[in-house]
Amino acid sequence: MFTNRLGRAVRGIAAALCLLGGLSAVASAQVRIGVGVALPGVRIGVNIPAYPNMVPVPGYPVYYAPQLDDNLFFYDGAYWLFADDDWYASTWYNGPWYPVEPYLVPAFILRIPVGFYRRPPLFFRGWARNAAPRWGEHWGPQWRRRRPDWDRWNRRQFPPRAPLPGYQRDYPRGRYPDAMQQRSLENRYYRAPQRIERSPHTERQQRNARQQRHEGQQRQDRQDRGPGERPPR
């Protein structure tokens, strides 16, 4: 219960850091709350003792771990874990884990069919195993408004799968590196682009925000000029 509350408390901050700097940068940074309080990632009760066997999900640019009893996936250079109704991300197979806001989870992670979750939550019950979870039904109308196109894509085409970080098999429990060592090893052994997906809905939000800023600036200019002044030519 405490871990869940803690995860929700830092989720937005960690997700923002992921967007700004990429997960590799987050893995070596600390998630800060307030002034003088730092959290180096969240413990979520998952302990993976060795590099897992990751298998491609057919038709998706994603891998999953069929031999684990955890919902662990790998996509675009990062591990994604679904546990206790929350998403977490890390560049290493056993963390440190950083909570990710549901609005910011990559679309291809959301699209993974129900049948590839090794520990499906109870609310998956009755859902088709070959279809994505009904995230809009679970997370509600506000989430649906912000992610309207997450399940719309050309199923005959998908981006290439990022290479797996196989060098991590040399670091089982007992040799598992801390966050600073992880970053050093990533820089030495792994190169994979960290892409941030932008949905059309997100693009529209950005255009609307720019338009609102422009209109706000125009109103401010009119107020600054006063009623009798003309705009400069």
**Nearest Cα residue to 76 out of 165, 192, 224:** 192
Residue 219 lies in a domain: no
Phi first, then psi: give them for residue 24, nearest 5 degrees.
-60, -40
What is the per-residue pLDDT for 155?
A: 86
Instruction: Fill in the DSSP letter of residue 34.
Output: S
Residue 111: other Cβ atoms inside 10 A: 22
Taking only the tens place, the pLDDT of each residue in 169-196 is: 999 999 999 999 999 999 999 976 544 3
Residue 225 lies in a domain: no
C-alpha–C-alpha distance, residues 141 and 156, integer Å: 29
Residues 6+ apart with CB under 8 A from 25: 17
161 belongs to a structural domain: yes
pLDDT tens digits, 122-169: 999 999 999 999 999 999 999 999 999 999 999 888 889 999 999 999
Instruction: Confirm whether 119 is domain-assigned.
Output: yes
The answer to whether residues 75 and 64 touch, using CB atoms and an 8 Å cutoff, is: no
Domain that holds residue 194: 2-208
Are 18 and 10 within 8 A, CB to CB? no
In a domain, residue 230? The reply is no
Contact predicate 134/141, CB 8 Å: no
* CA 32 centroid distance within chain: 18
In a domain, 104, yes or no: yes
State how many domains the chain has.
1
User: What is the tens place of the pLDDT at every residue in 44-97?
Assistant: 888 999 999 999 999 999 999 999 999 999 999 999 999 999 999 999 999 999
Q: Does 233 reside within a domain?
A: no
Q: Is residue 228 part of a domain?
A: no
